[in-house]
Chains A and B, each alone.
Chain A
Amino acid sequence: MTRTLLVTGAGGVGKTTVAAALAIKAARAGLRTLVVTVDPAQRLASALGVEQLGNEPQPHQREPNLWAAMLDASASWRAVAVRHADPDVATRLADNEFFQAASEHFPASQSYAAADQAATFVQAKAWDLVIVDTPPSGGGIEFFTAAAEMADLVGGRLLRWITGGPLPGRRFLFNVAARPMLRLAGSILGSDLLERVAEFLVDLRTTYDGVAQRGREIESVLRAASILVITTSDPAPVGEAIRFYRELPGLASAPSSVIFNRILPADWAHVEIPSSTSPELTQNMERWSAETVRQQDTREEFSARYGAQVATIPWSPKSPTDIDGLAGLLDGSSGIPWDEIGVSAPA
C-alpha cells in the first residue's frame, strides 16, 4: 500500500524543504519514497537532483530509495481536459485562444494540476510513500477543493451564465444577437467575443464525464492521506495554519500535526545577562529572547486552542546545498509524527 503525506502551509515557511527532508529520512529508513514539489528554490532542486521541470519522477543519483518530481502545473490541467475529449474536440481545444487563458484563470487550476498529478503517482503503486508539497495558491486549501471546483466549471456553470439558462449543445444555434442582455454585454466587449467564448465552453463541456470521474478519484486519494501543516511563528503563516485546522476536517482529514519551523532554543527565552556584557551583545540577546518568547506563546496558544499536536524544527541559518544538509535539518527536531509517515522514530 502506498502511504500519502500531504505537506501544507503558507508560502515562504520552508514547506518544500521540510517535505524534502522528511522524504530523505523515509528513504533512508528503507521506504521507496517519492517527493513531489511545485516550483522549488534552485538550491533545493539541485540538492534533490531535479534540475528540470517535468512531471516524470526522477530517481536520485545517490539515494537508492528516493525519487523526486517537480511539477509543471501549467501544462497538466490542459492535458487532463484534452485527455477526456473526443479527438476532433481535442484538436479544436488545442488550438483555442481561450484555452490558455482559462487554464490560468480557472480558480484552482494550478492546484488541480498538482492534485491530479499527485493522485496519479499514488495510484501507480510504485512507491511506499508519496510526499506532496502542496502549492500555496488559494491559501493552500484550494488543493483540496480543486477537483470538485473544476468539474463544476467544466460541467457548465460558466456556460449557463453566458446563455442565461439552458445549456446549448454543439449544434444548438447559439445566437448572442437574439438575446438583448447579451447584446448589451457585447456592446461593451465587442460583437463576437461572447459567441467565441461560448463555443469554446460548449467544447469543453463534452469532457465533463471524464473530468468529474477523475475528480472523484482525486478526492478519494486526498481523503486517505495524512496531512502535516508547516508554519513559522509569524502571524500571517500561523493564520493560514489555523485555517487548515478549521477547514480541512470537512474536506479531507484533520491535520495530524502542525510543525513550527525556524524555532529558537527554549533556553533563550529568559537569559541572565552579566553586566560585563557589551551593550551590543546585550541588545542582541534581548531581541532574540523576545523572539523566543513570542514563538513559545504562539505555539502554546495554537496547541491550546486547536488541540493540535505540535512539532518543532530548529532554525538553521544556512539553506542546505546537498542531500546530507537537507537530512540534517531535522536534527534537533521534536514531535514529528514519524508513525504517520511509516518510519520508526529516530533515536
Chain B
Amino acid sequence: MLDKRLVIVSGKGGVGKSAVVSGLALLAQRHGLSVLAMEMGSPGGLSAHFGIGPLEFEPREVRAGLHAMRMVRADALLEYLAGQLNIMGITRFGTVARAFDALATTAPGIREIITIGKAVWEVDAERWDLVIADAPPTGQIGSYLRAPKTVKELVPSGKIREQADRMADTLKDPRLTGVVLVTLPEELPTTETSETLDWLNQEQLIPRPQLVANRVLPELSNEEVPAGPIGEAAQLHRSLWEGQQEWLAKLHTDVQLPYLFGLLTPGEVAARICDEFEALI
C-alpha cells in the first residue's frame, strides 16, 4: 500500500476503520513518506487516534511529515471554485456556494464528486507522497466511487463534467490507487463486506481491495481447563474464537489484526496497529 499515491479505506461503521487509517499513516510516516490522512466520514475518530483535538479542513502536522485534515464540503467547494474559476474577488460569492450546496443535496453525484475530488486533487497536486482517505462507510462508498459516472450522466456540459473522466482514471489505476476494506469476524460486517466486494467486482471502478479483518482472537489450545474464572475465561474465549472462525471462513482476508485486550487509549491502538502492519512488511 505504501507505494501507492492514494489509499482509500472503507468498512462498515464501527469496525475500526479510523484505527486502521491511523496505523497505516503512522507506518508510512515511519518509512519517511510525507503523508496526508483525510477524514471523510463522521468526524472525531481519526483525530482521537492521533491524540489531538478535532481536525479542520486545513491540514495540520500531527507528526513530522504526517498531516491530517477533515473533509468539509463547503470548504472543499470554495477551494474548488476558487481554483477552477479564479473568482475569489467576486462579491456575493456565498450565493454561488449556497446554490451549489442546494444542488449537492438534491442532484445525485455532486456532493460525492466534491468529496472524492478533493482526495484526487491532493494526489494530483503532488504535495504528498501518499494520501490516505478515511472514507465513508461501505454502505455509502458506492455512490462516492460512482460519482464521476453519475455526474457525466446528469450534467450535459460544464467544468465538473470535464474533470469527471480524469478523476475516474485516477481511481481505477492500480499504480496510483489502493483500496482497503476493514471488517470484523461477525455476521453483519461480513455480510456487508461480501456484498461490497461483489459490487466492486462488478463495477470495476477501483483496483481490487485488500481485506483487513480487525479484532481477531488468537486460538487457544484444547487443554483441560480448571473450574472457576480461569476455566470460564478459556471457555468464553474458545466459543468466541469459533464464532469468529465461522465468519472468517466466508471471506478471503489479506491481513488479520489481533483483538487488543485491556485499557488502551486510541493513540495506543493506532501504534499497535502500526506495529502489526510493520511486521507484515
Contacts and interface: CB of A to CB of B under 8 A. Distances in A.
Interface stretch (B23-31, B50-58, B224-232): B224-232
B34 to A, nearest CB: 29
Given A105-B111, A188-B160, A288 B236 contact: yes
Given A12-B13, A291-B262, A293-B263, A42 B158 contact: no
Interface stretch (A86-94, A115-123, A213-221, A276-284): A276-284
Interface string B247-270: 000000000000001110010000
Chain B interface, >50% SS class: helix
A332 to B, nearest CB: 13
B14 A237 contact: yes
Interface residues of A, number: 69
B156 A190 contact: yes
B199 to A, nearest CB: 16
A278 B220 CA distance: 12
B261 A181 contact: no
Contacts of A297: 263
Nearest to A182: B99
B95 to A, nearest CB: 4
Interface in B31-77: 42, 44-45, 48
A188 B159 contact: yes
Contacts of A201: 102, 106
A190 B98 CA distance: 17
A159 interface: yes
Interface string B192-225: 0000000000000000000000000000110101
A98 B107 contact: yes
A319 interface: yes
Interface in B94-146: 95-96, 98-111, 143
Interface in B76-102: 81, 84-85, 87, 90, 92, 95-96, 98-102
A197 B111 CA distance: 14
A178 interface: no
Nearest to B104: A105
B237 interface: yes
A125 B230 CA distance: 51
A284 B103 contact: no
Interface string B177-205: 00000001011110100000000000000
The secondary structure that dominates the A interface is helix
B239 A318 contact: yes
B4 interface: no
A105 B157 contact: no
A189 B84 CA distance: 12
The residue in A10, A201, A236, A280 that gathers the most chain B C-beta atoms within 10 A of its C-beta is A236
A153 to B, nearest CB: 8
A291 B13 contact: no
B176 interface: no
A159 B106 CA distance: 10
A12 B263 contact: no
Given A290-B262, A319-B187, A191 B160 contact: no
A181 to B, nearest CB: 4
Given A12-B14, A188-B160, A315-B236, A181 B103 contact: no
A106 B236 contact: no
Nearest to B259: A287
Nearest to A10: B14
A78 B273 CA distance: 43
A325 interface: no
Most central of A186, A191, A288 by chain B CB within 10 Å = A288
B83 to A, nearest CB: 12
Given A159-B102, A189-B103, A271 B230 contact: yes
Contacts of B230: 271, 273, 277, 281, 284-285
- 5 A-B pairs with the lowest CB-CB distances in the bound complex, closest first: A290-B262, A317-B239, A12-B14, A101-B108, A161-B98
Interface of B: 12-15, 42, 44-45, 48, 81, 84-85, 87, 90, 92, 95-96, 98-111, 143, 154-161, 184, 186-189, 191, 220-221, 223, 225-226, 228-230, 232-234, 236-237, 239-240, 243, 261-263, 266
Given A189-B158, A235-B266, A293-B262, 10 more contacts: A12-B184, A41-B187, A158-B106, A162-B98, A164-B95, A185-B103, A193-B107, A273-B230, A284-B230, A287-B261
